Structure 1
Amino acid sequence: MDSSRSGKESGDIAIPLREVKSSKSGKGAPPVVAATTVRLSQQPPVGGWKRGVGIIDLILRICAITATLAAAAVMGTTSQDLPFFTRFFQFQASYDDFPTFTFFLAGNVITCAYLVVSLPFSIVCIIRPHILGARMLLLLFDTLALALTMAAASAAAAIVYLAHNGNPNTNWPALCQQFDEFCPRVSGAVVGSFLATLILVVLVVLSAAALRRN
């Protein structure tokens, strides 16, 4: 009873065979039939977990595309004009007034375009989970995209912090006290870019784990 239960748990298949033995007692004696059992172990499906990693990779890439596209779209359409202005002065804030925000927009657009291009390679890793070339390319360019997105989001976050709080030591005023629509939009764009950065970190870890198990 214990041996049959352990065989089921290990995934073995028992195949009954009959072994014919000749009797030594005489020529007319019937042969003796002895039953033997041959066990064939069931192998787990090859590449099953890697295919699962590839599916998660594809879903995360779509999420990162959404995050970077939303961050770039919000930043690129952010502009506010204050209602009070004079003949010579007009109070306006736009993303292109800050080179850091322009870099932020360019970095997220580049990352979003790369992620769109990487989707076919991610699908190939699902269909052929043991392929190494596509996985190596994804790991390399995911790392570069991570560095670019992190740099753009961090630089923009520093400007957003100054816009919200200012810096009395350098007479930097808190612009968000006047531009109450501009600052929430750029802050939301920075949050979306940091979300894409977190997803890229997970993608790099997944690719490295898949390569390590090859």
Structure 2
Amino acid sequence: MDSVEAKFSQNPPPKTQKIVLGVQICSRIFAIVTTMAATFIIFTSKQSTEIIGITFDARYSYSSTFKFFAFAHAIACAFSMLCLFFVFILCRPGTNSANFYYYLFLHDLLMMSLVLAGCAAATAEGYIGRYWNNHAGWPRICDQFGKFCNKITSAVMLSYLALVFLLMLTILHATKSTQIQL
């Protein structure tokens, strides 16, 4: 029994720590890039079309759901950039600070939850826009605003990709923070 505890109490080799640090930095950079791209796409999504001589506009700012999506991703991108800065400063391959990994775990869990909420809201509204809901009286708008709907779809797909990277970071930091000594 003592030999099992001795194996787990040792620090991992420096090569393993470097690999974990590299995975962490790459995943965080990919999360930043995908949330930034989703934010840019949603902020620039607009289209005008003329139906029966009347001009109609479709913009993200006309929907509170898409506004929430845009600002949630902007916040997640900004805080992930700030966190990347702290990772570069405080995470060195020789150090093993379980408390710092616990705070990174909490940060990534909050950012993942925020991005997930934005994804879920935008997916629900996008589904209604593409496939309509006749029971609620909501018409299909993607027939008239195809370019707008395609941009929203691209932003939501990038958002789900960002969610995968944030989930990977959350799992990574959850496993690294289990080494906290009280």
* TM-score normalised by the chain length of structure 1: 0.74
Residue identity in the other structure for 1:96: S
Matched, 1:188 2:159: no
Q: Choose the corresponding residue for 1:52, options 13, 16, 19.
A: 19
Shift of 1:45: 7.2
Gaps of 5+ in 1: 1-42
Matched, 1:74 2:24: no
Q: How many angstroms apart in 2 are the aligned matches of 1:63 and 1:161?
A: 26
Q: Choose the corresponding residue for 2:132, options 166, 169, 177.
A: 166
Q: How many angstroms apart in 1 are the aligned matches of 2:80 and 2:11?
A: 33
| Structure 1 counterpart of 2:4 | none
What is the aligned residue count? 170
Shift of 1:171: 2.0
| Structure 2 counterpart of 1:147 | 113
Query: In 2, are the aligned partners of 1:47 and 1:130 still within 8 Å (CA)?
Result: no
| Structure 2 counterpart of 1:104 | 69
Q: How many angstroms apart in 2 are the aligned matches of 1:143 and 1:98?
A: 27
Flag the structure with higher strand content: 1
Residue identity in the other structure for 2:110: L
Runs of 4+ displaced beyond 6 Å: none
Q: How many angstroms apart in 1 are the aligned matches of 2:11 and 2:61?
A: 56
Residues 127 and 168 (structure 1 numbering): CA distance in 2 closer, same or farther, change over 3 Å?
A: same
| Structure 1 counterpart of 2:96 | 130
Deviations 1:69-100 (A, max 9, x none): 000000000000004464xx421100001000
Residues 68 and 127 (structure 1 numbering): CA distance in 2 closer, same or farther, change over 3 Å?
A: same
Matched, 1:93 2:58: yes
Computed over aligned residues only, the root mean square deviation of the Cα atoms, in angstroms, reads 1.9
For the residue of structure 2 that corresponds to 1:81, the secondary structure is: strand
Shift of 1:213: 4.9
Q: How many angstroms apart in 2 are the aligned matches of 1:193 and 1:133?
A: 29
Gaps of 5+ in 2: 1-9
Residue identity in the other structure for 1:184: N
Shift of 1:150: 0.2
Shift of 1:209: 1.5
Higher mean C-alpha displacement, 127-136 vs 144-153: 127-136
Query: In 2, are the aligned partners of 1:51 and 1:129 still within 8 Å (CA)?
Result: no
Q: How many angstroms apart in 2 are the aligned matches of 1:78 and 1:180?
A: 11
Shift of 1:116: 0.4
Query: In 2, are the aligned partners of 1:162 and 1:174 still within 8 Å (CA)?
Result: yes
* TM-score normalised by the chain length of structure 2: 0.86
| Structure 2 counterpart of 1:26 | none
